[in-house]
Structure 1
């Protein structure tokens, strides 16, 4: 090597490639695979574009006992509970990416630049997904959040990170409870919210017969969620779950669950209990078992605020439960059900490809601008359809796993991020 070659080599920042297969841990991939099932189920409501809606403007209120059971379960277990799970895993993955780079000798600034490129491309992918298929895309939303959070927090000390987690939690409680406190002082808690507002599912344009008009609505919704929703989360403390993912990644909690069993058990039990109890009043009101004013059940009502805040606990509880299962299964003699576990974790390894594949199947088949099949489905039959779509991605991911191939979107994203 000549002197000039050596100098050029020194001027290029050291950078390692993406995570290799042998470096992957079971729990994060298994959690992402299960998360995709929960996401595809929670997204079913806005595809039921011909159904009659309740005060919440989201879940339908018609159907038989099976439909009512599905609606009750969705409100209690899934609605506003899956996205915190996604946020935690997203933050966890960001920090692990940063640590893998720095542990391999990459400078902190160079590692942050990799994260920045990843965030920018996720925004592009998310907005494209929202415009073309599914307005409720969360990839662009978390891409913009990660752009700021990676810059502000990924290089901070653990002590500073804990301080900011506490600050974000206080922000979340303050901004969420403020409308409720004001309404209580005025004696207007029951009228908090607006049941007469436009139903939220209409912003997803699944009932729009014109493909061009639907595209315009989806673009508007996608831009709003990404460029208004993400900054609002920074102001309102919605990034706390993201930072908890940062902290957990520093401790390698999902890679080494056996070292954190007490924490994981407490988190799983308390998080899921708080999350489900927080959603229970809204679920009971939805099925008519609890007499609550319509305004309180609306998207800005007291019951929705309660569901939203407690949903963060549920999301983290779900992650802890999957980590406990992964630890139990890996130490179980014989490891029965290995094919199912490998298949679901294969979905987690290709989570972005599978997430986009859901919309590629759902939207053209169910939307009014497509085949319009959503008009003929109910909450129960839609849930069965959603599970079937998820199983299709499980089969596809398992086939790719056996062939030793990455997901197509992951392959493209890695080339864009690592430039190789």
Structure 2
């Protein structure tokens, strides 16, 4: 990574490049976890309604559901959100070094994310998170001058308020108020949803729009603030430069591992045990998970970053899809839609939870190979290229030539001609 006042030939340039690659690898790791969670929601209308698929009730099916809920659900999107906030600080610094006005560029970037997210939600997956990032990005723009300590305190306050909100819902549900119909479909509607998703194009789009109308309030009131809290932590870490030299923060990483794999895992266990019960149990589980899931996600990140120097091949494999994570995120929904909906094979409600996980592994393995192939020939992923064009309002140079976005003509490379300083991702 080139910084202000440095030479591209400085002695520690390979180490700086490796640091950036570690962030891309972490992003690739988060992308895989998101796929493992999302595929269940793409494969069944029942899962979107918060219920188990009635056709799959074996011990193995339930074991897989528990593993995914315990170790994956609500953890990896927090990692992705943390990296969104971290990348925001890199973009601010890059614009400052080049003397470019940051706010107009970032607003164009957010507009692009919002358009992509809207199309993604309507055509492929109502659980889209890109529209949430577009909205949260506006808040980051307002908070970009805050100190790291202030950012952390804001994140903690948001998390506590959200947990109290779910606790209030749990109390209301316990007192007898029926909240289930307000936040999710019932079993009859879930079956109807499966039928629509297995139908023609307009049936699928209409069903996506219906689901969006159900979850939009929950997204604004709950998911948005949770994403913002994780982004604020990423903002604080970026301002501190903590990921520039992970070895300098070994003790902090160890503490995160201890907290995450004790308190965080205990909270995840409680959340998992409550996820398949009545509304009041689910709300209490959500309240606990909002507080403890960030700890477990942090423990995942800390463990990953500490192990990465000992697993260089795994790091390189994950860094490739991480560099073009936006393209791969959208491609995951497209591939799953072709498998499960009427766009393609229409296998909705016909694939068991274990098979879903195997399909997710296969999709991600293909994305690792495709991403490495693509990045040997192009500087950016296809969607990243479009978003960069919109951000800088000019065409980024692709292939191996110079850059047109003002970052300078040269880029450090690793052995074999691969780019060592990957493009930043939203």
CA-to-aligned-CA distance 1:348-372 (integer Å, 9 cap, x gap): 0010011111111110221245321
Cα distance between partner residues in 2 of 1:243 and 1:204: 40
Contact 2:263 2:295 in 1 (8 A): yes
Query: Does the Cα contact within 8 Å between 2:19 and 2:245 map onto a contact in 1?
Result: no
Unpaired runs of 5+ residues, structure 1, are 1-20, 288-292, 330-336
Match of 2:355 among 359, 381, 400: 381
d(CA) in 2 for partners of 1:203 and 1:242? Answer: 36
Contact 2:271 2:285 in 1 (8 A): yes
The residue aligned with 1:322 is: 304
Question: Out of 98, 105, 113, which is 1:114 matched to?
Answer: 105
**Alignment of 1:132 onto 2:123:** yes
Which has the higher mean CA deviation after the structures are superposed, 25-34 or 95-104?
Answer: 95-104
The residue number in structure 2 matching 1:410 is 384
CA displacement at 1:23 relative to structure 2: 8.6
Measured in 2, the distance between the counterparts of 1:237 and 1:358 equals 23
2:199 is the alignment partner of 1:212: no
Per-residue Cα deviation, 1:129-176 (whole angstroms, up to 9, x for no partner): 1111111111121111112322x11133x2xx4224313422321342
Separation in structure 2 between the aligned mates of residue 256 and residue 348 of structure 1, nearest angstrom: 19
Q: After superposition, where does 1:116-265 map in structure 2 within 5 Å? A: 116-150=107-141, 152-156=142-146, 158=147, 161-178=148-165, 180=167, 189=174, 194-195=179-180, 197-199=184-186, 202=190, 207-208=195-196, 209-219=199-209, 221-222=211-212, 229-230=219-220, 239-265=228-254
**Mapping 1:364-403, distance limit 5 Å:** 364-368=338-342, 370-403=344-377
2:294 equivalent to 1:312: yes
Q: Deviations over 1:200-244 (max 9, x none)?
A: 99599554124213213324545776787246556x565221111
Residue 369 and residue 361 in structure 1: after superposition, are their counterparts in 2 closer, same or farther (change >3 A)? closer
**8 Å contact from structure 1 (residues 35, 86) kept in 2:** yes
Contact preservation (8 Å) 1:47, 1:206: no
| Residue aligning to 1:49 | 44
Q: 2:255 aligns with which of 263, 266, 272?
A: 266
8 Å contact kept, 2:340–2:346: yes
Write the distance in 2 (CA, Å) between the matches of 1:262 and 1:86: 23
CA–CA separation in structure 2 for the residues paired with 1:389 and 1:375: 19
Q: Provide the C-alpha distance between the structure 2 equivalents of 1:278 and 1:164, rounded to a whole number of angstroms.
A: 24
Q: TM-score, normalised by structure 2?
A: 0.77
Report the secondary structure of 2:153's partner residue: helix
TM-score after normalising by structure 1: 0.78
Q: Deviations over 1:6-59 (max 9, x none)?
A: xxxxxxxxxxxxxxx9597122101111111101100122233276x69x7244
In structure 2, the gaps of 5 or more residues are: 1-15, 395-426
Q: Quick one: structure 1 residues 207 and 251, their matched pair in 2 at CA, closer, same or farther if it must change by over 3 Å?
A: farther
Corresponding residue of 2:67: 73
- What RMSD over aligned residues (CA atoms) do the two structures have, in Å? 3.2
Q: Distance in 1 between matches of 2:89 and 2:214?
A: 27
**Count, aligned residues:** 373
Contact 2:42 2:125 in 1 (8 A): no
- Paired with 1:325 and 1:207, the residues of 2 have a C-alpha distance of 45
SS in 2 for 1:362: helix
The answer to whether 1:101 aligns with 2:101 is no
Give the Cα separation in 1 of the matches to 2:351 and 2:175.
Answer: 33
How far does residue 404 in structure 1 lie from its aligned partner after superposition?
A: 4.7
Matched, 1:302 2:276: no
